[in-house]
Amino acid sequence: MQPFHYSRVSSIPQALEIQATAGQGRSRPGAAYLAGGTTLIDLMKLEVMRPQSVIDLRALSATHGAIGWDGATLHLGAFASMAEVADHSDVIEHFPVIAQSLSLAASAQLRNMATLGGNVLQKTRCAYFRDPSWQACNRRTPGSGCTAIEGINRQHAVLGTNEHCIASYPGDFAQALIALDATVTLSGPEGERRMPFASLHRQPQGRPDIETNLAPGEIITAFTVPAGAWTRRSLYLKVRDRQSYEFAVASAAVALEMNGRVVNEARIALGGVATVPWRAREAESVLRGHTLDEARANRAAQAAFNGAVPRSHNAFKVALGQSTLVRALLDAASLEVSHG
């Protein structure tokens, strides 16, 4: 790990001031923010990230770590830990898909350390990205190529890929947020702003190293999730190579509003199969207004993978992703949901 300058801050303005002095590019920053540290420290040890300055934001959990539920909207401070939110009774009762997406991620130790804001910004697990001895990786070194396209790509994405990068987005919580139309609040040098969570992540385009639409220096401070008739009937189904402490091979975040067996409203996001948290709007359209049975769920799952581009080792992800979604939909439809 290369030497770096360390600062610990207790407020957003203090963090922005230090960040402005240190300077920040987008792909290999001069300054990097440290929240839970569960991604950054790993990548610094691997020398994938080599910031000259690390700004420790952990003290912001006191001011930006609250969890609030007012009966209409869930407010999540970005510095709340994954464990705090996963175990919160209001989240479990009113937004089960959020609680499950967090509790099925990582390990208990990591969930205690990692913050929500850091979680949604975690980097891909592509082995070529995480090992600098592989020279061709557009996400790590822009313009160098992509080793994975002709390499071992079993874990890689089939949706949202292009010739520049096929890395899958590794998180779980982000799928719940995008399915529920969450909003993210940001603080930066130009002040505070809010954006739809769906606008936070960028598909690879020509610059896979630019992973988000955050402006330089911006810090995620909160997430806001509106309640809907579908949020209680929601779940997160995660399929992985082992049952614990593992990333998704395929996952589905599903929220349904049902009138008997007919779907009034459906919200669906997919994980493990796409380059970004992936909202499956075509699948939602297939369900809306129809009786949800296995045949309809299969039609929705097929629609969800329209346009998928499998590579040499990951063609199985299309069938697996479809099966995961079918099961998630049928499980969500059969949930007993009280309306208290």
Q: Which residues bind ligand SF4 (CB under 6 A)?
A: 124, 126, 128-129, 137-139, 146-148, 165-167, 208
Measured from the CB atom, is 38 or 124 closer to ligand SF4? Answer: 124
Whose Cβ is closer to ligand SF4: residue 27's or residue 298's? Answer: 27
Pairing of strands 31-34, 53-56: parallel
Scored b (16 or more CB within 10 A) or e, 53-72 reads bbbbbbebbeebbebebeee
Q: How far is the CB of 41 from ligand SF4 (least distance, A)?
A: 19
State which residue, 97 or 165, has the beta carbon closest to ligand SF4.
165
Cα–Cα distances (Å) from 172 to 10, 60, 98, 135, 252, in that order, read 29, 23, 9, 29, 9
Nearer to ligand SF4, 144 or 334 (CB): 144
CB of 135 or CB of 285, closer to ligand SF4: 135
**Exposure of 265 by Cβ count < 10 A (0-12 exposed, 13-18 middle, 19+ buried)?**
middle
To ligand SF4, the closest distance from the beta carbon of 131 in angstroms equals: 10
Q: Which amino acid is at 24?
A: Q
CB-nearer residue toward ligand SF4: 69 or 128: 128
Helix (H/G/I), strand (E/B), else coil: 237: strand
Taking a C-beta distance cutoff of 8 angstroms, is the pair 106, 82 a contact? yes
User: Residue 48 or residue 227: which is nearer to ligand SF4 going by CB?
Assistant: 48
Give dist(CA 220, CA 199) in Å, integer: 13
> Cα–Cα distance between 31 and 39 in angstroms, integer?
15
The neighbour count for residue 310, using CB atoms within 10 Å, is 17
Which of the 8 DSSP states describes residue 199?
Answer: G
> Which of 248, 241, 302, 255 lies closest to 273 in space, CA to CA?
248
Q: Closest separation between CB of residue 292 and ligand SF4, Å?
A: 35
Minimum CB–partner distance for residue 164 and ligand SF4 (Å): 6
φ, ψ of residue 320 in degrees (nearest 5): -65, -45
Distance CA 110, CA 326 (A): 30
Q: How far is the CB of 133 from ligand SF4 (least distance, A)?
A: 12
Q: How far is the CB of 139 from ligand SF4 (least distance, A)?
A: 4
The DSSP 8-state label assigned to residue 173 in this structure reads: H
What minimum distance in Å lies between the beta carbon of 128 and ligand SF4?
4
- Between CA 287 and CA 268 the distance in angstroms is 10
Q: How far is residue 61's CA from residue 176's CA, in Å, rounded to a whole number?
A: 22
- Measured CA to CA, the distance from residue 255 to residue 305 in angstroms comes to 18
Q: Please state the closest distance from residue 204 (CB atom) to ligand SF4, in A.
A: 7
- To the nearest whole angstrom, how small is the minimum distance from the Cβ of residue 177 to ligand SF4? 23
